[in-house]
Structure 1
Amino acid sequence: MIMLDDFFTRALIAGVGLALIVGPLGCFVVWRRMAYFGDTMAHSALLGVALSFLFDISMTLGVFGIAALVSLLLVFLQKKKTLPTDALLGILSHSTLAIGLVLVAFMAWLRLDLMGYLFGDILAVSKGDIALIYGGGCVILAILGLTWRPLLAASVSEELAEVEGLNPQRSKLIFMLLMAGVVAIAIKIVGILLVTSLLIIPAATARRFAPSPEMMALLSSLIGGVAVVGGLFLSLYYDTPSGPSVVVAAMLLFVLSLSMPSQRGS
């Protein structure tokens, strides 16, 4: 019987918890073709980290605040219709990342481990982090469950959802805020640059086999959990970085799925 260290056990519990949260959200990212939006949320997190240190506030709160602000700014700019959405996302993504890096450079007294925030350190999670993941995750999944029908309808057709009185714009804004919450929770575990990967890859893998949206959400969480466990043991045995190893494991599951017959017509 293999005896695991406490830090490794905490990493497994935290990683699986995160997979359960991002699975259903990742499905909407795939359905709505919002992968670039996920990148924008993740890149803005560095600015949230810098401001958290500058104003001495909770990092989770700082990252969520900036990610939520970026979401609101995107909605406002989309209504102006001055630029296409992908251009707006590009501007917001790279601008917030650059501002965060410049702000860190100005704080000469701060010794910030950028690699740790860019790629995460799941092996360093504490019991408090685990409580945040599962507590915050329950809130996120509960809100997602309440908005599931309008979000799903808007993913198919915003015009149809509007006709049915489901208010797709409100649902979209709620979804963006939920994404901001996930980024705030996930930053310490998989880092800024890998958050989007954990959102997209398991959902893309699940899409090939799920006969219904609900089953896809469930499969996405399951595949994400398997990727977390596989990636962590991969990092344990081969002494590789834990966060990237989790994403590599997810990628290997996706590649493996390509050799299997799909249950979907498309």
Structure 2
Amino acid sequence: MNSFLPPILLEPFIIRALIAAAILAVTGGILGSFIQMRGMSFYTDTISHSAFTGVALGVLFGLDVSYTAIVFAIAIGILVLEIRKRTSLSFDTVLGVLFASIAALGLFILTFLNNVRVDLFGLLFGDILALSNTDVIVIGVAALIVLGIIWSIRQQLILEIIHPDLATVEGIDTRRNDIIFGIVVATMIALGIKLIGIILLSGLFLIPSATSYLIAKSFRDLIAGAVISGFISALAGVVISTQLDTATGPTIVLAASALFVISYFMRPLIKTNV
């Protein structure tokens, strides 16, 4: 049976990449569906850049960059939501202000790291083929926790999207849900940087959900389609990159983009209700 597969696909580092990409794509597809319907698309870019600044802070103070990236991303995620709640500024304005400020802070910190070697290419575009077994386990466990949390509040999140006024009348704590959702998204984004990189990471969260949105007939279809699209994109991207010797992260996102184009041309043939 193995003879039908290129030998390189059986290498341990490729198998780890396939597993990690599939986990992130499936989780990203589910989160991306909620992100899109909640109008938080730019949120992913802001959080990914904040994770970069978290990495820079970790290097500056000699701390574990994995932890500083996650903690800083979560902190900024909560800050975004708090500013949105406490001011009359639009969500996009808040994100724009923090996006620029955090990116500037990260670049400012880099000026103090002249004698420290920082893998900027890996941060910007990811290095999924360099994952260890521990990395894959951490991503898998985090994904299970995140999906468990989303499952436990899924009905409240959906009601907030469809009927926000009714959700308030029903006594749903929307502020708590916003913070919980922001934290889980920030966590997966911070963990995903090593796989896809800062620049392209939002694509793995948003493109599959956008692809599904074009042809979905219900919110359930939207999530299912996003998961399938993300899963196919992840596996295809890893396989194609190994065959063409291209960067894996960009190849995964390009595969997702190709599915989006196909979905766009299929839309006239399908009546959607989302």
TM range (shorter): over 0.9
Q: Distance in 2 between matches of 1:223 and 1:55?
A: 40
Aligned counterpart, 1:189? 195
Alignment of 1:85-124 (within 5 A): 85-124=91-130
Q: Which amino acid aligns with 2:270?
A: S
Is the 2:28–2:205 Cα contact (8 Å) retained in structure 1? yes
Is the 2:230–2:256 Cα contact (8 Å) retained in structure 1? yes
Deviation per residue, 1:224-265 (Å, 9 max, x gap): 010011111221222221101100000000101122123414
Alignment of 1:107-186 (within 5 A): 107-186=113-192
Deviation at 1:216?
2.1
Q: Distance in 2 between matches of 1:66 and 1:263?
A: 42
Which of 237, 254, 258 is 2:260 aligned to? 254
Unaligned runs of 5+ in 1: none
Deviation per residue, 1:76-111 (Å, 9 max, x gap): 212332532211111111111111111122122211
Aligned counterpart, 1:264? 272
Q: Distance in 2 between matches of 1:58 and 1:138?
A: 23
TM-score by length of 1: 0.95
Aligned with 1:106: secondary structure?
A: coil
Number of equivalent positions: 266
Deviation at 1:219?
2.1
Task: Note if 1:208 corresponds to 2:228.
Answer: no
Deviation at 1:58?
3.0
Is the 1:104–1:110 Cα contact (8 Å) retained in structure 2? no
Deviation per residue, 1:133-162 (Å, 9 max, x gap): 110000000001111111111112322211
Q: Distance in 1 between matches of 2:55 and 2:207?
A: 25
Unaligned runs of 5+ in 2: none
Q: Which amino acid aligns with 2:203?
A: S
- Of 205-214 and 177-186, more deviation after overlay is shown by 205-214
CA RMSD of aligned residues (A): 1.5
Q: Distance in 2 between matches of 1:103 and 1:61?
A: 17
Is the 2:60–2:112 Cα contact (8 Å) retained in structure 1? no
Is the 1:63–1:183 Cα contact (8 Å) retained in structure 2? no
Q: Distance in 1 between matches of 2:62 and 2:223?
A: 37
Aligned with 1:87: secondary structure?
A: helix
- Of 50-59 and 222-231, more deviation after overlay is shown by 50-59
Deviation per residue, 1:114-146 (Å, 9 max, x gap): 111011011111111100111000000000111
Deviation per residue, 1:32-81 (Å, 9 max, x gap): 12111111111111111111222333333211211111122122212332
- Of 63-72 and 41-50, more deviation after overlay is shown by 63-72
Residues 23 and 180 (structure 1), Cα distance of their counterparts in 2 relative to 1, 3 Å cut:
same
TM-score by length of 2: 0.92
Task: Note if 1:7 corresponds to 2:4.
Answer: no
Q: Which amino acid aligns with 1:253?
A: L
Q: Distance in 1 between matches of 2:64 and 2:27?
A: 21
Aligned with 1:194: secondary structure?
A: helix
Aligned with 1:101: secondary structure?
A: helix
Identity percentage of aligned residues: 35
Is the 1:27–1:200 Cα contact (8 Å) retained in structure 2? yes
